[in-house]
Amino acid sequence: MRKRWNLHSVAKNTVDLFSDEFKIHPSISKVLIQRGHNTIEKANLFLNPSISQLHDPFLMKDMDIAIQRIERAIQDNETILIYGDYDVDGVTSVALMYDFLAKLTPNLVYFIPQRKKDGYGLSCTGIDFGKSKGASLMIALDCGIQGNDEIDYANQLNIDTIICDHHLPKKKLPDAYAILNPRQDWCSYPNEELSGCGIGFKIVQAYLAKNGGDSKELLSYLDLVVLSLACDIVPIIGENRVLSFYGLKILNKKPRLGIQFLIQASTKQTPLTITDIVFGIGPIINAAGRFSDAERAVKLLLSKNKMEADDNIRSLVNKNKERKIIQQRILDEANKMIELPVKNTIVLYHPDWHIGVLGIIASRISEMYYRPTIILTLQDDLIVGSARSIAGANIYMALEKSKEFIFEFGGHQFAAGLKLEQEHLEPFKKSFEKAIEQQVSKIDLFQKISIASKLDFQDINASFWHDLKRLAPFGPKNRNPVFLTKNVVDNGNSKIVGLDHLKLDMSQGESKSISGIAFQQGEHLAKVKKKSFDICYNIRENVWQGKSKLNLHIKDIK
């Protein structure tokens, strides 16, 4: 797939000013300036994240009401139902809230819906479960903002609800006791991009602030928060950067027991990064909700002894193995269904595909073909599926324009879920294609690679890596910078490895050799053997048996 390289420029005098002030390599100064940290004050705040940069939780609309209601429930010995979604964000939200409130009251139950039986979000089944346990307060985490009917049902059962959700609200909000959602109207909270678990964390922050709690207790929950931030693909900037920065510190030093078992099962080496969470830890947690009951994942995160943690991690690992097999089969089938040349969108349907992996498949297909993608299957006589998008294409807006053919949908710009009646599939596909076509031009459908700076191999050393790490954690809106090196030559040892991956052994001029991996770019091998070439890449650190080595993750070769 052709890619467009965009090399950004920055005024040299500003670069020199930043490099002198912060004692960093000019290429790192360029990254700071390009990303809007373009004054000494802004750059200093970014390079030195501090807990003091967290926003006051009481800036969030309804926070004071929510805290008062929780305090009353504890004082009156009411039973509290903690309700969460079945993905990483929902599971970590429930674990965080349960762990915190368990120190204040024994009257707690939690409910995680089962994907196939209960569907996404709030369900009457979960509310009935809470009622059967005597609950009179429900805290809904990572869900609820679109559950108008379910909240009405809870109200009929005399169950008050505090919604802690970060998804886009409908025009008519649910009739809940309190709604904590920075995206709702009249909410002045500065960070609209918190995860569901992040909003749960703000409840803990508010409760401890009001009741004279220990700041160390507050920070102890950041290992859960960083899992949610990473796996829910929220922007790692501002407050989220602070939460991620300190969350990774806890994750890499002394995480809770269940997370220790997750790290071990993921086989990822410490120090862990946001990427390691997304591709190593997240899939293991998600496997429970995709293929059975996500309650196993909550139990793991709440485990207090090794025997309990070991039992739960075994179950999750087995489900993750099952997930990988099913996912690869469906991905192969989906690829065979794609008609070339590809249109502006890809919409694929098969009645027998497993609903638990549709989001993953949509992401993979979208990445491979760089198109907004929807993967659909059949469930209970409705077509259901997951949608994923690309830069410049707002998939939620496209679904909104096609809503006459949609039974139900929800999500945001880059990801969504939807349900269709079977007879509406073909007209929906045409409408969705047209809606995306109105948003993007042909040039948008070529993947853009944003390059921060040119770099010579001789600059890639321990000092440069130290400077680069000051920009981490990397994630959405703060990606690992891409650098460009020109006139690179093969040292004669480059080869194809794995599934068409190109492993390169390179040098530039008289500089030292450096290795790199270009995933699924094996077609370049013959050309790089013959002549010099240019590469754009991220720099990564590989740690093996205590030894660290820098290598390049190559985005493209020309």
Per CATH, the architecture of 3-48+448-557 is what?
A: Beta Barrel (2.40)
pLDDT at position 114 is 84
The pLDDT, as a whole number, for residue 1 is: 66
pLDDT score, position 432 = 97
Q: Which residues pair with 377 in a beta bridge?
A: 384
Query: Is residue 484 within 8 Å of residue 535, measured between CB atoms?
Result: yes
Q: What is the mean pLDDT of residues 335-354?
A: 95
Domain 338-445 fold is: Diaminopimelate Epimerase; Chain A, domain 1 (3.10.310)
Average pLDDT, whole number, for the chain?
A: 94
For CATH 3.10.310.30, list the domain ranges present in the chain: 338-445
Residues 31/14, Cβ–Cβ less than 8 Å: no
Cβ atoms 197, 181 nearer than 8 A: no
Neighbours of 3 (CB within 10 A): 14
**Residue 543 predicted with pLDDT over 80:** no
What does the pLDDT average to over 418-445? 93
Chain-centre distance for alpha carbon 415? 11
Q: Where are the CATH 2.40.50.460 domain residues in the chain?
A: 3-48+448-557
Tokens, residue 199: 């909003």
> In the chain, which residues fall in CATH 3.90.1640.30?
57-315
pLDDT at 237 over 90: yes
3-state SS track over 299-363: HHHCCCCHHHHHHHHHHHHHHHHHHHHHHHHHHHHHHHHCCCCCCCCEEEECCCCCHHHHHHHHH
Distances (CA, A) of 221 to 179, 198, 229: 22, 10, 13
pLDDT in tens, 499-520: 889 999 999 988 789 999 999 8
For residue 247, which of 264, 214, 271 has the smallest C-alpha distance?
271
How many separate helices (H) and strands (E) can be counted in the chain? 22, 19
**Domain topology for 57-315:** inorganic pyrophosphatase (n-terminal core) (3.90.1640)
Average pLDDT over residues 154-173: 95
Q: What percent of the chain has pLDDT over 70?
A: 100
Task: Tell me which DSSP letter residue 476 carries.
Answer: T
Per residue in 72-100, pLDDT tens?
999 999 999 999 999 999 999 999 999 99
455 near 502, Cβ under 8 Å?
A: no
Q: Is the pLDDT of residue 443 over 80?
A: no
